[in-house]
Structure formats: structure tokens, C-alpha cells
Amino acid sequence: MSSRLSILALLLAGCADMAFKTDDVGEADGAYADTGAAGPGATDDGDGGGDGYGSENEDSFFALAPATTRAYVFVANPDRDTVTRVTVPTLEVITTEVGHHPIAVATTSDYTKAVTFNEGDDTVSIIDADTLAVTEVAVRDDFNSMAMSPDGRWVMCWYDQDAADDGTDDGGVQSYNEVSFVDTDNLEHTPLVVGFNPRQVQFTDDSSTAVVVSDAYIAVIDLTADELEPDRIALTDDLVDPPTAEEVLLAPDGSYAFVRQFGATDLVVVDLQLGEVGRVAVGDNPTDLDLTPDGTRAIAVARGSNELWLYDLADPFLPPEVVDMPPDEVFGSLLMSPDGTRGLLYSTATGAARYASWELFNNSITVRELVKPVASMGVSPTGETALVFHPRTNGPDVDSSSPFYDQYALTMIDMTDDFFSNPLRLPAEPIGYAHSSDGTRGYFIMDGYPALEVLHYTDLLYDEIELPSNPVHVGVLPESRLAWVSEEHDLGRMSFYDPDTGVLQTITGFELNSGIEH
Amino acid sequence: MTRTSTILAILALPVGLAACDPFAHLPDNGWSWIDEPLWDAEGAIAADDGVYLALPAAGELARIRPTGATDVVDLDGASPVRLQPMPDGAGVVVFDRWPVCADPDPKIETVDDCREEDLSYSYELALVQDGAVSFADQVPSHLNRLSFSPDGTIAVAYLDYASASDIPLDGVVDLTQVAFIDLTGTQPATSVSVGFNADNVLFSRDGTRAVVLSDSQVSVIDLDSFEVTVTYPLTLDPDQSVDPSGAAITPDGRYALITIAGSADLYKLDLDVESIDILSLDATPSTLSINEDADRSVIVYNSRPQVDVLEHSYFAWDSIGLDEPCTAVLQGDGFALLYNDAATTHDVYKLPYDTEEPVEFVMGNPVAAMQLTDSHRYAVATLRPEASGYSGSLEDYQDEHWGLAVIDLVEETDVSLVLESEPVGVALVESEAGAYALVLLDGRDELLQLDLANPSVPTALPLDAPPLAIGAMPDDSFFITHDSALGLISFLDPTTGTITTAAGFGATDLQAEAVLPRRDQEN
């Protein structure tokens, strides 16, 4: 297995900053990317519900897996059945054995535990972050995904049909309706049947409730109950050919769940307290669904009718506020600023080299030019800087004389200075991104390019830090500006960059630690 | 002494032969051919009480004292195979062996009495001090080198295959083992399996553990129990061989730094936290050397004109460019001396640790060897001839001859001298009176003494015979071996310039009968 894959399920913390994050280890959200679940059912195929464009793509790479604990970085080594803990900043390395073929690792928000999902023997390993004592709990067979509750007490494992085919099927009896909940405090396993093809799970902020979304059902699990039981709620009356849930958004207090279905003209609103399903109009072809950062409203982008539909989460069935988007533009995605005062509208499906800023106080929308179409977009934690990653494809708006023609690119936008921007031509495709929590630095890496790019959000400049080998993942330690990069190396390699000193420290060969014998 | 057959007319031997009938075992016509040298001049080892050397023809170990007296060390019938000095000149380590006849017939008394198919050898390791065996224990016969713990109480025997002429093969030989020997005699020698081709042994500063390097792994052994406590893999691929080429332990004793043959990887083993980190150097290193006081490692490359100075806190390093690559390092007081003893380059660099700005010296010819005086004030290099331009210039003249260079590392000056012939020995001596190089030249029956402050005018001391080598005694005197079939060693007191000699010891016990020793113990 290549070292890229061997570090595939790399180190993640349940970062406390991330409200409504799925903590989906396989493809975690960043708080300041599109909030609300990335839609695992989203595809670029099809006609997107009739407006001629495919689905909007919420690129999982951009919604970067959060970093680790304040003191440790945990790296899963699937080929060695081990987890390596790197202590920061001393870079001391200790490796401990876990179950067979760990493909995901997450850390609890209190930083006291790391949890791996061991695909090879269908177990979860709970690791004490300080002592590295390991306890294993068996789960149901043949799962391939794991998510952790915000408080770190619960993990849910399931089989995600959209995940890469990794040979999890052992050829025996297989159910596609099951999930496993593991209580990492009491080391108890609870299997549940939630509905065909569970796609994702969301937890309330207080981790009291989990909501599992499958094709035709929402299963609500009260995590405070003595015994876990799923309260299954059918999303549709059509049980023969139910529409696929493309995106689910959970109210922070766990009162409602919004389900956006592919190609639908309404939203499914589930009252999680009463278990009742209702529907609200949402314009034509809703392609994105987000929460305002204060958690009081849900916003749907109706790309087909060129409208924004705003719902009051206290009572979603009240008439929504509808905001018209510019008639000559087609936007299908929304990114809210952290303070909730503005949103960025864009589309990853139309190929247009434009975006728009939406000021919520007066609903004014200003269209702005970009050098290329949008592959994905994000905003710094302070909301002062937006990042736009551009694909190599050009779209109809890019002239062949442009220096960005047929090139990957990135644009930094200063949202405090009339959206002044600095576009950068890139030598390769970006594959990972992270930013410091203070909003001053962003970091990204590119495919096959041995460098860490450091973005200075305050002045829109950048630095390039040479790496000893090609990068695989990038992240930032919680509550710090220290960036980490995992790199290709047969025996494991990771670099740590301190932007204050400009020093890059690298450790190599930590997978050898799994072979140390006593 | 060269290994040429030595032909002696037995009837012409001097009076010092053994008192027994010298004719009892002579073949017809009274002549006998001795193929082995009478004494091993190359293997002479200096100790506090004299020079120890093997008498191969007689199968004995002799001690030659500066007074000229010769003693034979009683090895209880064993013959020395190899000698190695003990730390601080306390004595010598003798790898010896004795013949064993499997046939218990009491009529079999000598080696000649035993049929060849019944004859084998047993091996042991003995410590010899003050002319006598102070310790002996059996170790596997193929182990041919010792490393000593810092306090000298424990020795580790291992196989240095590069210096092994052959490996005694008696039944089964385990090439993964080393032997730990408690020189205090508290516990018996213990063989430990540490991996294939274990050829480098380091000791922690506190003397509590040994670090043994072998192919693709490093083993840490507790020196109280002689048990392997930790094994570090250098690779996880069983099909890959990672061959350590050099190693050192940092002054704090925490890290072992290991260079790998043919690789730019520098392994850093944390001996406390038990973890491995690999540092990527710019090329395959030629030498890694640690300066204890500066707490720095110096790394040079034969393929790059560059030296890396590595600190031991974060293991970051400064790369410093040179004009020419270097392959070797000598550590001085606050500096490293870099030179190349493999290529035809001429540069020598003094690299101060405080400034890391190299000072370049250009030698007249390529460097063959380099030494530092005890004060580190002077460096003395032996220069070897190189291909000349054959234009008849003075430079060509210098190129065609051996040379000696003296570098004043304080004044940062150097002078390259031309030598009459190849130097067969260069020793340095330093006292309050000054610093000197003692030089022996091939075919010249003189010892040349060069004042390093003014090396151009040497003082010559006559010798009794052409010299072979010079070595230092623990008391700062020197011994000189000579090309003499029957044995000749000179002892030089550099403070007085006086020379005493010991001669003829090569004929000691020459005609002694080859009796099977330890017969009662074996049978």
C-alpha cells in the first residue's frame, strides 16, 4: 500500500470550534467551509434537477479534517496496525499497537483520547492520549467509516456506500442498514438498524442526540438514554423509489432536521421531538443548504429559481424570507462568514468565473470577477479573508491569453478591503488546506509538489516552504499556528512548521517504531 | 616484517636456544625450514610493562621490556592468534588457541602424535597484565575483536570480518552473536544474538548499556544482565538490508546517530524514549564525528564539497561549503579538522565551532594520514605521491615524492616538506619543551626528529637497523620495530634522546616440543 494511502486516515480531533460538524473522519468538515453536511450523495452527474447543470460540489478536501490535540498528533499506520503519537513541540514519537488495519483516527475534544477504526478486524481502539493504553471494542462487520460526537464520548461506525471500494466485504452476510455506536467511556457497543444505506451522522452540539441519515429514513438516537434505540422517521411516503437525501442539516438544539433531496422542490423538515415529517417550499432545484453561524436560520440556495430561501429554525414552517439573486447569474453554493453578516455565493457547476457577496443586513448582492471558475471556496476563521481554489479547466470566461489559462489557481480575497484579491497561479492541484484559528495564516499543499504554501491573510502574500518529500495531508494544531504536513515516505514522514520562527522540523521513519521490540 | 619464508640453518642458531636436545626432532641432514616469521612486528602492542608480541614460529607470546629483557607469557599451552591493547595500556588482550586431540590415548603427547583427523583447536580470550594471564574465558572462535566499556570492566567480543583472514569453522558458527565478557570474573562470558554481521559496538556514557549495530537492526544490551532490552529495526522490509557504516552516541548519551552505507539517511535512535527518526542528509556521508565539548556532530561527504555541523537539541544542521570534499575528521579543542585521505585533493580545513567559518590549508600533495598533537596546536599530515605533469618542474618533483606537512592551527600557517622515502612511521610527542614529530623513513637507519615549530631542520638519531614502525608507550616513550629476522625493538626516551634495544627474542622457545596442552582438562 502506498504511503499516501497508509496515511489516509490521519489524525483528527473533535475540535470544539466546529459546531454541527459531522466529525466525519473520512471527510471532515471545516467550520468555515460550507457548514452543514457535505452531501455524500452529491455527484456531478445528471442534470441537477432540470436547470442544466450538475450538482454543486462541496469538495471534501477543502473542508479539511481538523487537526489534532494541543499536544499530540496521532497518525494511523494501516500497514503496521499501529498508531504513532507525536508530541509537539518536542517531536517525541511513540508508537502503539491497535487493531488490524486502522483506517481512521480521531481525538476527543478534551484531547484525552484517540480512537481508531480498525477495518481489518472490525474493532474500535480507544487510546489514552497520555499513557497510550489501548482498549478494543468490537463492532459490526464490514464497516468503512467512523464519526465522533463533539464531546468525544460516542463514535458511530457504518458502511458508507460512497466510500472507496477497499475490500471490506468479507463475502459473508452483509447488512446495509446497520450502524454501530461505541461508548468510549464505558467501552460498550450498541448495534442499531437505522435504514438502508446510512450516509452520514450528525450530532447535536451537546452530543445528546445523534441523527443518522439514510436513503429513506432519519434515525434519531437519544445518546443520554440508558439503552440506545433508533427512532426511525420515514422521509417520504414513496417507499418504492424514495428520493435520495443529498444533504441534511441539523438544528443546533436538535429540534429539527432539514433534508435536501436531489432534484426536489421542497425541503423535508423533520421535527425530531415529535417525530413528524413536514415539507416546506424551497424554490427550484435547491443545491445547497446551510446554517447561519448563530444557528438561528437555515438558508437554501435555489439555483433553479435563482433565489435564497431563509427559514427560522425556531419554527421552520413560518413563511420563509426569499431573496432574489442576480438574474443574469447562476449561483448554487453559499458560504457564510463566521460572523453571519455576509455570505459568498458561487457555483462549482456552471464554470463561471464569478462569485457574489451577499450582505445580509440589506440583502444586497454584488457580483465580482474571478480569474477562473470555482472549484471550492472557504473563509478564514475570522471571516476577513476568503479563499477560492480554481480548477485547471477554464470555463467560458477565461481567455487563452490569461496566465491562468489551463492552470490551477488560488485567489485570496480580503473581505475587509472591498474584496481586494490576489490570484496566484499554482504549479499543481491543491489537495489539502488548513488555517490557523487566529485567522492570520492559511496553509495548503499540492499534489506531487514538495512544498507547504503559507498564506498570509493579513497582507495576501505567501511563502513557500520546501518539504523533503511530496505532501499528503496538512493541518494545524488546535489553538495554535503550528502547521503539520504528512508526507510520502515508506516509513512515515511528518513536518511541523512554525510560522513565527519560520522553522520546519521533520520527523521521518516513525513507522519503524512499530518494529521496536523489547 | 614481511611474511616471507624464513630459512634458518639450525646449526647456526645462537646460544640462546632452548636447553633441550635441539636435534631430537630434526629431519635428515640437520636442516629445517620455518615458513612462519619468528616474531610478529606488525602486531606489537605497547603496555605499561613493555611491548607484547606474538612469536608465530614458536607459538608463544613474548613481553619485551625497555631494559632489553624478554619474557615468555605462560598461556597454558595456548598460542596467540591476535592481540589487542587494553584500555589505557593496562595490558593486552590475547585471542589464543590450543590444539586438542580427540583421541584420549595417553601415549599421544605431542601434536605430531595425533592423527590429523582427530586434531582440532579450542579458543579462548585472555587478559595479560604484568607478564601473566589475569583473566581467561572461552569465547566463540570466530569473534576477533573487542570493545571495552568506559570503565574497562566489560568487554564485548564481536566479529570484525574486514580484518578476519578466515573464520574458524568448527561445526556450527553463529554469525549473529557477540560475547559479553565480565572482566571482573563475576559472571561467565555470555553470548548474545544481536543480528547478522554485528561489527560495531558503542557504549553509553554511563556504562550501563551497550549498543550493537548489525545488518538492519540495532540492539541495546543491559550490561548488568547481558540481556537484550531493546531492538530497533532499521527497516521493516525483510528483503531490504540496511548496513550501518558508522555510529556515535551523543554526549548526553541519549541518542545514537547511525550512518548507513550507500544512503543519505542518518538514523537517530532515541535510547531513552525508544523511538527512531531518520534525518535526510544531502548525500551519503563519508564520516560522522562528534565533538564532546562542543556537543556537535560533524558530517563530511566524499561526493560533495560540504560539511554539515549538527546540533544535538533539535538536530538541525548548518551546511557549510568547502572548495573540495573531505572524507575524514579529527576533533580538536573547539574545532574540527577536515581532510580527504581518499582522493587526490589537497585541502585541509580547520572548522571552528564558534564561527563555523572554515580556514583552508592547501597541502603539497594529497593526504595519506593525519594526526594532532595532544595540545591540538599542530596537525601533522603524511602526504603521498601523486601523478605529476612530468614537465620537470619543482611542483612535479614534489608530486613524485612522499611528504610531510605541518600545520600550525593557532597561527594558521602550514609547511609541506618533501621526504626522501615513504614514511614507515610518524609519531608525535609534546611536552613543555616543545612539540615534535618522530619520523621513520623506509630504508633509512635513522629516526628523524622534527621540531614542529621549525620543522625544516630535523635532528637525526641513528638506529641499529632499518625501521618498520613506531609506536607510543603509555609513559610517553616510544618503541620502534626493525626489519630483523631474529627480532629487534628499540625504545626511545624522547626527553633524553636515549635509545635502548632488545634483540634476538625471535628465537625464544624455537625448538620447544609441540606438546598437546591441557590434556588433563580436555579428556
Contacts across the A-B interface (CB distance below 8 Å): 63
A163 φ/ψ angles, rounded to the nearest 5 degrees: -70, 160
Contact B275 A505 (CB under 8 A): no
Q: pLDDT at residue B440 above 50?
A: yes
In the predicted structure, residue A333 carries a pLDDT above the cut 90: yes
Cβ of A514 and B236 within 8 Å? yes
A485-492, long-range: CB within 8 Å, 24+ apart, which pairs?
A485/A443, A485/A445, A485/A452, A486/A7, A486/A10, A486/A75, A487/A450, A488/A2, A488/A3, A488/A4, A489/A3, A490/A3, A490/B237, A491/B235, A491/B236, A491/B278, A492/A3, A492/A6, A492/A7, A492/A75, A492/A77, A492/A84
At B37 the pLDDT is 87
Residue B363 confidence class, pLDDT cut points 50, 70, 90: very high
Do the Cβ atoms of B18 and B24 come closer than 8 Å?
no
Which pLDDT score, from 0 to 100, does residue B17 have? 42
Write the DSSP assignment of A471-494 as a string of letters: EEEEEE-TTS--EEEEE--TT-EE
Say which of B235, B273, B277 has its CB closest to residue A507: B277
Higher per-residue confidence, B5 vs A416: A416
C-alpha cell of A224? 443520554
Contacts of A514 in chain B (CB under 8 A): 236
> What's the CA gap between A440 and A445, in Å, rounded?
17
Asked if A92 and B278 come within 8 Å (Cβ–Cβ), the reply is no
pLDDT higher than threshold 50 for residue A63: no
| Closest A-chain CA to B236 | A512
End-to-end CA distance of chain B: 39
At B255-295, the pLDDT tens digits run 999 999 999 999 999 999 888 999 999 999 999 999 999 99
Residue B231's region, left for phi above 0, alpha for psi from -120 to 50, else beta, is: beta
CB A67 within 8 A of CB A478: yes
Rounded distance, CA A315 to CA A296, Å? 10
The alpha-carbon gap from B46 to the nearest alpha carbon of chain A, in Å, equals 41
* Cross-chain Cβ contact A92/B270 below 8 Å: yes
Report chain A residues touching chain B, CB-CB < 8 A. 80, 91-95, 468, 490-491, 503, 505-518
Is pLDDT of A22 > 60?
no
pLDDT of residue B516: 83
Comparing B166-180, B227-241, B394-408, B477-491, the range with the smallest average pLDDT is B166-180
Of A80, A91, A516, Cβ closest to residue B232:
A516
pLDDT band at A269 (very low <50, low <70, confident <90, very high): very high
Tell me the percentage of chain B whose pLDDT exceeds 70.
91
> Which residue among A80, A94, A506 places its CB closest to the CB of B273?
A94
A-chain residues within 8 Å CB-CB of B234?
512
Query: Over 90: is that where the pLDDT of A12 sits?
Result: no
Residue pointed to by grid coordinates 489553538: A479
Residue A435 banded pLDDT, cuts 50, 70, 90: confident
User: Which tens digit of pLDDT belongs to each residue from A402-429?
Assistant: 999 999 999 999 998 889 999 999 999 9
C-alpha cell at A40: 455524500
Quick check: B232 and A511 CB within 8 A?
A: no
What DSSP line would sit under B83-102, residue for residue?
EEEPGGGS-EEEEEEEEEES
Of the candidates B311, B346, B220, B236, the residue with the CA atom closest to the CA atom of residue B271: B220
B12-37: pLDDT as tens digits? 344 444 444 555 555 556 677 778 88
Q: Grid coordinates representing A441?
A: 495564516
**In this predicted model, what pLDDT tens digit does every residue of A349-402 receive, in sequence order?**
999 999 999 999 999 999 999 999 999 999 888 888 999 999 999 988 899 999
- Greater confidence (A326 vs A68) lies with A326
Nearest to A491 among B229, B236, B274 (CB): B236
**Candidates A95, A491, A503; nearest CB to B278:** A491
Q: Which residues of B touch A95 (CB under 8 A)?
A: 275
Q: Which of A80, A509, A516 sits opposite B278 (nearest CB)?
A: A509
Mean of the pLDDT values across residues A423-450?
Answer: 93
More confident residue, B232 or B11: B232
pLDDT band at residue A8 using 50, 70 and 90 as cut-offs: very low
ipTM (interface predicted TM)? 0.78
Give tens-digit pLDDT for A73-106: 888 888 788 888 888 877 888 888 999 998 888 9
**Cβ separation of B277 and A80 shorter than 8 Å?**
no
Chain B residues whose CB is inside 8 A of the A91 CB are: 277
pLDDT at B423 over 90: yes
Residue type, B409: L
Tell whether the model's pLDDT for residue B385 goes beyond 50: yes
Buried b (16+ CB within 10 A) or exposed e, B217-235: bbbbbebeebebebbbbbb
- Residue given cell 462569485 in the structure block: A355
Q: What are phi and psi of B397, to 5 degrees?
A: -60, -45
The answer to which of A158-162, A204-208, A447-451, B239-243 has the lowest mean pLDDT is A158-162
Mean pLDDT of chain B: 88
A113-158 pLDDT tens trace:
999 999 999 999 999 988 999 999 999 999 999 999 999 999 999 9
What residues of chain B have any CB closer than 8 angstroms to a CB in chain A? 229-237, 267, 270, 273-280, 314, 316
pLDDT at B256: 96
Question: Do B429 and B409 form a contact (C-beta atoms < 8 A)?
Answer: no
Q: Would you say B247 and B258 are in contact if contact means Cβ atoms under 8 Å apart? A: yes
Q: The C-alpha cell of B284 is what?
A: 551519503
- Band of pLDDT at residue A68, cut at 50, 70 and 90: low
For chain B, give the longest Cα–Cα distance: 77
Plot region of A215 (φ>0 → left; ψ -120 to 50 → alpha; else → beta): alpha
**Type of residue numbered A266:** D
pLDDT tens per residue, range A455-514 = 999 999 999 999 999 998 898 887 788 899 989 888 889 999 999 999 999 999 988 988
Each residue's pLDDT tens digit, A46-61: 444 567 777 777 654 4
Question: What was the pLDDT predicted at A125?
Answer: 96
DSSP state of A10: B
Cβ distance A517 to B231 less than 8 Å, yes or no, reads yes
Give the residue, B6 or A324, on which the prediction is more confident. A324
A490 chain-B contacts, CB cut-off 8 A: 237
Q: pLDDT per residue over B452-477, tens digit each?
A: 999 988 999 999 899 999 999 999 89
Amino acid at position A159, single letter: Y
**Residues of chain B above pLDDT 90, percent:** 64
Residues of chain A with C-beta less than 8 angstroms from the C-beta of B277: 91, 93, 507-510
Paired sense of beta strands B6-8 and B32-34, if any? antiparallel
Cross-chain Cβ contact A94/B231 below 8 Å: no
For residue A513, give the chain B residue with the closest CA.
Answer: B275
Phi first, then psi: give them for residue A260, nearest 5 degrees.
Answer: -100, 120
Q: What is the pLDDT, as a whole number, of residue A264?
A: 77
In degrees and rounded to multiples of 5, residue A7 shows phi and psi of: -110, 20
Q: Which residues contact A456 (CB under 8 A, 6 or more apart)?
A: A440, A441, A462, A463
A95, B270: Cβ pair inside 8 Å?
Answer: no
Q: How far is B146 from chain A (nearest CA, A)?
A: 26
Q: What is the DSSP letter of B302?
A: S
Q: Which residue has the cell 439573486?
A: A325
Please tell me the predicted confidence (pLDDT) of residue B284. 96
Distance from CA of B240 to the nearest CA of A (A): 12
Quickly state the pLDDT bin for B512 (edges 50, 70, 90): low
Tell me the chain A residues in contact with residue B236 when contact means C-beta distances shorter than 8 Å: 80, 491, 511-512, 514-515
Task: Give the position of cell 556537535.
Answer: B296
- What is the pLDDT at residue A165? 56
Beta strands, E only, B296-412: 296-300, 306-311, 317-321, 328-331, 335-339, 347-352, 359-362, 367-372, 378-383, 403-408
CB of B29 within 8 A of CB of B40? no
The distance in angstroms from the start CA to the end CA of chain A is 27
Segment B302-327, tens digit of pLDDT: 999 999 999 999 898 999 999 999 99
pLDDT, mean of residues B52-57 = 93
Cα A31 to Cα A66: distance, rounded to the nearest angstrom: 9
* Residue reference for cell 488560488: A410
pLDDT tens-digit readout, B85-116: 988 888 999 999 988 898 888 888 888 888 88
Q: pLDDT tens across A165-222, in order?
A: 545 455 667 778 899 999 999 999 999 999 888 888 989 889 999 999 888 888 999 9
Tell me how close the Cα of B194 comes to any Cα of chain A, in angstroms. Answer: 12
B270-292: burial string, b at 16+ Cβ within 10 Å, e else: bbeebbbbbbebebbbbbbbbbe
**A468 contact residues in B (CB cutoff 8 A):** 280
Residue B201 has pLDDT above 90, yes or no: yes
- Cα distance between residue A475 and residue A69, in whole Å: 11
Q: What distances in angstroms separate CA A301 from CA A32, A41, A259, A324, A372, one per listed residue?
A: 17, 17, 13, 10, 22
Q: B24 exposed, middle or buried (CB, 10 Å; 0-12, 13-18, 19+)? A: exposed
